[in-house]
Structure 1
Amino acid sequence: MYKKTFLILLVALLSINSFAQNLTPSDADSKISFVIKNMGVNVDGSLKGLKGKMSFDPKKLSSSQFDVTVDVNTINTDNKRRDDHLKKDDFFDAEKYPVIGIKTTSIQAKGNNVYYAKAVLTMHGVSKNIQFDFIATPVQGGYQFKAEFSVDRKEYGVGGNSMTMGDNVKVSLDVVGKK
């Protein structure tokens, strides 16, 4: 009887450990930021309202996945007038498209806590495949994920054909996922 109970418990524990850790993105501990040239000057900003699901296990990357969003209405460039304009329909159209999302399709190891992700970035109602490297560092109760990549804002229909605004936006992710 005890051997059977022990065997069932052991199998249950092994099956739980065979899946990636389920993590919740911590908005308070994370920072989503961007930089774009406007009139020849770098303008930086950030977004909050991080939500979604994350699962990560460096030993079982096939079951690891990120599916997270940020709230467009939280955009902050330290200029309220500009932020309000960015929320309008000629830029992000926050009323119609209130979130920007990233969902991974695959994650591969590169070595030394560096990973390669293929993902779908959805912004302004447009979804495009992107690829980027990220660093995953264990922290108390989860992981910290850091990544940088660039996107062409015009491919997502954000901002139109502006003569003064750059096309490429550098995005920086510093996301903490906790159990």
Structure 2
Amino acid sequence: MKTAIFSLLALVCVILVTEVSAGLVKKDTTIQSIVAFSIYNAGMEVMGNIQGISADIAFKPDDLEHSYIHATADPATLQTGIGIRDKHLQRIDYFDVKNHPHLRIVSKGFRKTGKNTFTGRFDLTMKGITKEIAIPFKVLEKQYATIYKGNFEINRLDFNLGEKSAILDEKVKIFIEVHTSQDLNTSKKSYRH
């Protein structure tokens, strides 16, 4: 259940990384994306992923002030490899997908931290709770493609995802990698997976 929560958070991060990383005035079409998460449960690392991502991206490394990333994810698409757990994570004690069908992430600003590396500040909303998070990411430009890579951690209890537990860790690690192709004729990028 907690793994599914982390998968959803990973999806949100992927959306953010995809939108933030573009850097050039281009429209991106996602070729491949990996949003994975991990959490420790009973001393063992549990991994999962999430899909159902939609995003709007306008990101220029030389104009960070006017760049933005807006994305949503569908928590009903969480996959941990165990169907019963995935369904439980959709219930009220975790993602409550009936009352909160979307996860949202909205950029608040970006800072360049090195060559092709940035940190984005985002409002992450899950289960009706909004928290500001920082996501460091790397942008790799190829001839007609851009690769975005990032990772971060969240505390699941900050979003009322489950309860405090002696066996389930509170920290969830989220890993994102997105590969996009680019259309050089527009300044906006869209992502839907």
Q: Please state whether the residue corresponding to 2:76 is helix, strand or coil.
A: strand
In the alignment, what sits opposite 1:55?
58
Q: C-alpha displacement at 1:24, in angstroms? A: 4.9
Q: Residues of 2 paired with 1:135 and 1:50: CA distance?
A: 20
Change (3 A) 1:117 1:83: same
Bigger shift: 35-44 or 137-146?
137-146
Aligned residues: 160
Contact 1:20 1:63 in 2 (8 A): no
Structure whose residues are more often strand by fraction: 1
In the alignment, what sits opposite 2:117?
114
Contact 1:25 1:54 in 2 (8 A): no
Q: C-alpha displacement at 1:123, in angstroms? A: 1.2
Q: C-alpha displacement at 1:119, in angstroms? A: 0.9
Find 1:162's aligned residue among 132, 153, 165.
Answer: 165
Q: Please state whether the residue corresponding to 1:90 is helix, strand or coil.
A: coil
> CA offsets per residue over residues 99-150 of structure 1, 9 Å max, x none?
2222111111112100111111111111101112110112454532211110
In the alignment, what sits opposite 1:66?
69
- Give the letter aligned to residue 55 of structure 1: A
> What TM-score does the superposition give when structure 2 sets the normalisation length?
0.75
Q: Which consecutive residues of structure 2, in runs of 5 or more, have no partner in the other structure?
A: 1-22, 184-193
Q: C-alpha displacement at 1:22, in angstroms? A: 5.5
Q: Please state whether the residue corresponding to 1:48 is helix, strand or coil.
A: coil
In the alignment, what sits opposite 1:82?
85
Change (3 A) 1:175 1:25: farther
Q: Please state whether the residue corresponding to 2:65 is helix, strand or coil.
A: helix
Q: Residues of 1 paired with 2:145 and 2:104: CA distance?
A: 21
Q: C-alpha displacement at 1:154, in angstroms? A: 0.2
Matched, 1:29 2:46: no
Contact 1:25 1:52 in 2 (8 A): no
Q: Residues of 1 paired with 2:112 and 2:36: CA distance?
A: 25
Larger RCO of the pair (alpha carbons < 8 Å, separation 6+): 2
Q: Residues of 2 paired with 1:107 and 1:22: CA distance?
A: 18
> What TM-score does the superposition give when structure 1 sets the normalisation length?
0.81
Q: Which consecutive residues of structure 1, in runs of 5 or more, have no partner in the other structure?
A: 1-18
RMSD after superposition:
2.0
Q: C-alpha displacement at 1:175, in angstroms? A: 2.7
Identity %: 27
Q: Please state whether the residue corresponding to 1:98 is helix, strand or coil.
A: coil
> CA offsets per residue over residues 63-84 of structure 1, 9 Å max, x none?
2111112211110111111111
